[in-house]
């Protein structure tokens, strides 16, 4: 029995790897020229007499009406220096991040040849996790102090479901998501299933832009929560159907199944075992099913109405 189990597990793993390989595209010939500028290092190691050089290099960060005394005070602030010191323990070298971003930019350029590589800058934001990555005006700003590891003492007041993604490995997902956000206009979808599929489109784009990243990292789940989503996919789908939620326009469904949360709300005793955003996860599976049965490009997918994707997806939840 034990031998058969391991043989079965091996073939499952082999099939999974082969399936993943089929989704890979060759980006080796695509050139992207970029480097990471370390504003965090340049700023917090500056002195009053060398601040002028930092201002010349990063004019974006220095409003003209702000006197230098403000910046000197910030540099010398003990709390700021402690934050910088803790960040440097992990990010004295950013080669790992640079390699990941390079591959991301190559994949984005593969699907969007006119993609212009942004200027990437690392900084500290006093743990402004809601704006941990900003992509605007050809700049990509990454707040490294939000990625010190979920167990770091600086994050002791944050809930687990939020800080579990404050990791070095999750930076590339947040960077990719900010690029993906620019591909979507305002979403006026009202029905629950439409909202699920719109979120599913975004997650599917992560599949294409980050083909080597794991699913739990892309959606921001713990490994245990992802296992729950996979094991209970059929039950979740039945719940949505039996409670007539798919075509409901009730906005409260967003908080229950779409928004970032510690768990989804089925109003059952074991809700805490489920991950938040289970609606987005199901929408991801619907879009994946659609793309496996229909020959459309990534750009065409984004233009399709959620209803068309749903009707042609041939989606069947895994048992």
Residue 234 pairs in a beta bridge with none
Characterize the bridge pairing of strands 133-136 and 119-123.
unpaired
Q: With respect to residue 237, please indicate whether it lies within any of the assigned structural domains.
A: yes
Q: With respect to residue 146, please indicate whether it lies within any of the assigned structural domains.
A: yes
The pLDDT assigned to 185 comes to 78
The pLDDT assigned to 23 comes to 64
* Number of separate domains in the chain: 2
Q: Is residue 226 located within the same domain as residue 127?
A: no
Q: With respect to residue 88, please indicate whether it lies within any of the assigned structural domains.
A: yes
Q: Is residue 166 located within the same domain as residue 117?
A: yes
Q: Is residue 216 located within the same domain as residue 277?
A: yes
275 within 8 A of 229, measured Cβ to Cβ: yes
Domain boundary among 110, 135, 170: 170
Domain extent, residue 41, equals 36-170
Instruction: Give the CA distances from residue 141 to residues 36, 61, 89, 241, in Å, rounded to whole numbers and listed in that order.
Output: 10, 11, 20, 42
Q: With respect to residue 265, please indicate whether it lies within any of the assigned structural domains.
A: yes
Q: Is residue 214 located within the same domain as residue 160?
A: no
The pLDDT assigned to 231 comes to 97
Q: With respect to residue 134, please indicate whether it lies within any of the assigned structural domains.
A: yes
Q: Is residue 162 located within the same domain as residue 235?
A: no
Q: Is residue 153 located within the same domain as residue 271?
A: no
Q: Is residue 55 located within the same domain as residue 113?
A: yes
Q: With respect to residue 318, please indicate whether it lies within any of the assigned structural domains.
A: no
Q: Note if the pTM is more than 0.85.
A: yes
**pLDDT mean by block of 10 residues, the chain; 319 residues:** 41 41 81 95 96 96 95 97 98 96 97 95 97 93 98 96 97 98 82 96 98 97 97 97 97 97 97 98 98 96 95 92
Q: With respect to residue 48, please indicate whether it lies within any of the assigned structural domains.
A: yes
């Amino acid at each position: 029995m034990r031998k058969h189990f391991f043989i079965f597990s091996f073939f499952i793993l082999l099939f999974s790897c082969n399936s993943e390989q089929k989704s890979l595209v060759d980006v080796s010939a695509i050139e992207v020229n970029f480097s990471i500028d370390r504003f965090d290092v340049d700023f917090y190691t500056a002195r009053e007499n060398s601040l002028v050089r930092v201002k010349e290099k990063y004019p974006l960060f220095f409003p003209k009406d702000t006197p230098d005394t403000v910046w000197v005070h910030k540099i010398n602030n003990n709390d700021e220096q402690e934050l910088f010191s803790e960040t440097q323990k992990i990010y004295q070298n950013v080669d790992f991040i640079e390699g990941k971003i390079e591959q991301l930019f190559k994949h984005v350029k593969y699907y969007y040849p006119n993609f212009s590589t942004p200027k990437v800058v690392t900084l500290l934001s006093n743990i402004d996790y809601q704006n941990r990555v900003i992509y605007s005006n050809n700049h990509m700003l990454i707040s490294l102090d939000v990625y010190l590891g979920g167990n770091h003492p600086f994050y002791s007041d944050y809930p687990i479901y939020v800080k579990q993604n404050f990791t070095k490995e999750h930076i590339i997902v947040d960077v990719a998501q900010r690029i993906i956000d620019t591909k979507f206009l305002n979403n006026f979808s009202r029905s629950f299933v439409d909202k699920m599929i719109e979120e599913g489109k975004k997650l599917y784009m992560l599949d294409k832009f980050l083909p080597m990243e794991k699913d739990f990292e892309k959606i921001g789940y713990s490994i245990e929560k992802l296992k729950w989503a996979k094991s209970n996919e059929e039950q979740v789908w039945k719940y949505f159907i039996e409670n007539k939620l798919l075509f409901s326009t009730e906005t409260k469904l967003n908080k229950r199944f779409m928004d970032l949360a510690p768990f989804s709300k089925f109003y059952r005793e074991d809700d805490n075992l489920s991950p938040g955003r289970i609606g987005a996860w199901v929408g991801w599976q619907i879009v994946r099913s659609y793309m496996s049965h229909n020959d459309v490009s990534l750009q065409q997918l984004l233009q399709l109405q959620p209803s068309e994707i749903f009707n042609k997806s041939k989606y069947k939840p895994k048992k």
